[in-house]
Structure 1
Amino acid sequence: MDHGTTGISFGIISDEGKPLDVFKIDREDSKAGKVSAIKELSKKVDLESIKLLAMTYAMGDGINSIQPIAMVKDRGIISIEGAGKVTGGGTSVYSEIEESNILTFLIPGLHKNSPSLDPMFKAAYSHQASPEKVSISYCAYLKTKWKNMIVADISSNSVNILIEDGKIRGAIDACIGAMGIVHGPIDLEMIRNIDENKMTANQAFSTAGAVKIANINTKVAIMKDTLLTRYKKGDSLAKLAIDTMIMTIAMEIMGLIGIANNKIEGIVLTGSIGSMKNPIDFKKELNKYLKNKFPINILSSNSGAYGAAQIAKDISKGKNNILGIDVVTK
């Protein structure tokens, strides 16, 4: 299960790792009780046949290992505040799974209390990435077999992860780094607006992406489509917004490559924007800055859900470490 910004996705794979199905639940529908995650899951697979479910939730900053949901306190988070748009849909799904009989493990985020990360990354940033970035990175690792790479997840927000020697060394979160469609770094003007009580810090973060440049202020669920529709129509502000977002992503990727201890074998792009070919060929546009110096592999936008399923499969087979993060069973 991938707890994303616009919805909660489930990826189902076989015991051999073959993708079987994937589906997504709208966060608003889940909150309103219009959709039951367990009922939807039961339509896709016999619940009793599920060996293990691995899930992500919110920031994942209350835990630092992959562990059974029964061991987790406070849903594995320190606070729900400052985490972007909050709808309550993810919480509803979490409760459903918690009350089910499905053996479930929770994946942690990357933060200052993660023992597996580079001490300098932890000293610099209290939070680096939410849990689905771990599952996305694992999906990338299994597909490419690269032990030294940058995983770029570009969608509502942009988070780039540095993997070296087959372990996650660190990442740069959306609130301090590159822009996504919705979220982005809080700059000086926004700091002033926060200090003057014109907006909260969370409101600033949740409107600091490409939508800020294009002056889009709609529901989060339709911001991307609104921006892309205007882009296709040749809207100059929409084009500037997309071009600027890509530039900031390129800067962040090159920054991580610059501080890497090892030679980077390649870059993996994923997310609804990172995997996009039309109306934006994201790989092509990014390569204008990277100048074809690195192999680029593309994963589908379902990589978070499938990566979590792959983590579940490998834990069920006895694996006790995922990209440097320990698996705790008791």
Structure 2
Amino acid sequence: MAFVGMDHGTTGISFTILSKEIEHFKLGREELSKGKVSAIEELSKRIDPAEIKLMAITYAMGDAITTIKPLEKVENRGIISIGGAGKVTGGGTAVYSEIEKSGIPTVLIPGLHRNLPCLDERFKAAYSHHGSAEKVSISYNAHLETGWENLIVSDISSNTVTILIQDGIIKGAMDACIGAMGIIHGPLDLEMIRAIDDGYKTANECFSHAGAVKIAGIDTKVARAKDELIKRYLEGDYKARLAIDTMAMTITMEIWGLISIADKIDGIILTGSVGAMKEPINFYSILKKQLDCPMEVRRLPPTSGSLGSAQIARDIYQGKKEILGIEVESLP
């Protein structure tokens, strides 16, 4: 008996196989989009698909669905539009299509958006979109790993999304386009709004260059941007160091903003490829020190998204009817 989880990330598609042991693997988006690698073939090398009782996956914004839904009941891959989602390579779409055809029992996890019933009505009034679907998986893994019912989860990688959980229910989140910076994505400031209005760039082009890369002056492929930033930082490049420090500042502001409106916080989780990073830059310690908050701060590995999806699949198969306040539709 096995369960599989998928995390549809910016730089790649990650999978976790949850069985007697836990196995993770990640496939590059561009390799997937060009047909150089098959997700189902890679999965089959590691486990017999017939052993998989349930798979839980995420895809893009997840803004057209409000429940955790069996894949055969999902229309248009559970999204309203792919627009405004950063760079589109087609890798995630290829994986989704493979899974649809595979015959593996699968559910799709929704994103965090204003039509989700569990969210605080003030968050829904303020923002149409709060976070893509893997943020649910990351939050669930954080909840299970810590046992905390009241927590803040900050997922820091290509973008930064910070989620507020109260009494075991997701109440709201701050997405990259309105909150803290990540490596690639960040909020649109006045200069960018003017560039959009004047027709120099699209909003999506600005969003995809509003993170630390903007400050460091890095203009390379998304998959290489983090390594280039780290390389320059370690070489003592002033702009790279300013980029890291500024990113940490904006994340600190975001976390403290959510602390200020929470009824109770048991602790804070930092995760993602940057949030959990201790080597070669100890970003986790930089941010933890800057936060200087009275509650406990822990880190989870970057695999928390795909592992959380696998844990969702396992618990749904075992009869769970809701995940962090999100309803689970009955399986066929």
* TM-score over 0.5 for the pair: yes
Give 1:194 shift. 0.4
Partner of 2:236: 234
Residue 299 (1) aligns with residue 269 (2) = no
Partner of 1:200: 202
Partner of 1:134: 136
- Aligned equivalents of 2:291, 2:35: Cα separation in 1: 45
Partner of 1:30: 32
SS in structure 2 at match of 1:309 = helix
Give 1:294 shift. 1.7
Deviations 1:86-119 (A, max 9, x none): 0001000000000111000000000011111101
- Aligned equivalents of 1:214, 1:9: Cα separation in 2: 28
Q: How does 1:46-85 map to 2 (within 5 A)?
A: 46-85=48-87
SS in structure 1 at match of 2:256 = helix
Partner of 1:285: 286
Give 1:296 shift. 1.1
Partner of 1:6: 11
Structure 2 counterpart of 1:9, one-letter code = S
Structure 2 counterpart of 1:213, one-letter code = I
SS in structure 1 at match of 2:286 = helix
Q: RMSD of the TM alignment (CA)? A: 0.9
Q: How does 1:126-275 map to 2 (within 5 A)?
A: 126-261=128-263, 263-275=264-276
- Aligned equivalents of 2:180, 2:320: Cα separation in 1: 33
Give 1:291 shift. 1.6
Give 1:279 shift. 2.7
CA contact (8 A) 1:135 1:307 kept: yes
Give 1:286 shift. 1.5
- Aligned equivalents of 2:268, 2:126: Cα separation in 1: 23
- Aligned equivalents of 1:212, 1:73: Cα separation in 2: 36
Deviations 1:219-249 (A, max 9, x none): 0010000000000111000000000000000
Partner of 1:320: 321
CA contact (8 A) 1:11 1:19 kept: no
- Aligned equivalents of 1:242, 1:282: Cα separation in 2: 8
Unaligned runs of 5+ in 1: none
Give 1:283 shift. 2.7
- Aligned equivalents of 2:40, 2:168: Cα separation in 1: 34
Unaligned runs of 5+ in 2: 1-5
Q: Which moved more, 1:112-121 or 1:18-27?
A: 18-27
CA contact (8 A) 1:155 1:181 kept: yes
SS in structure 1 at match of 2:136 = helix
- Aligned equivalents of 2:187, 2:55: Cα separation in 1: 33
Identity %: 64
Q: How does 1:115-134 map to 2 (within 5 A)?
A: 115-134=117-136
- Kindly tell me the number of residue pairs found equivalent between the two proteins: 326
Partner of 1:111: 113
Structure 1 counterpart of 2:13, one-letter code = I
- Aligned equivalents of 1:20, 1:279: Cα separation in 2: 26
Deviations 1:68-91 (A, max 9, x none): 000000000000000111000100
Structure 1 counterpart of 2:310, one-letter code = A
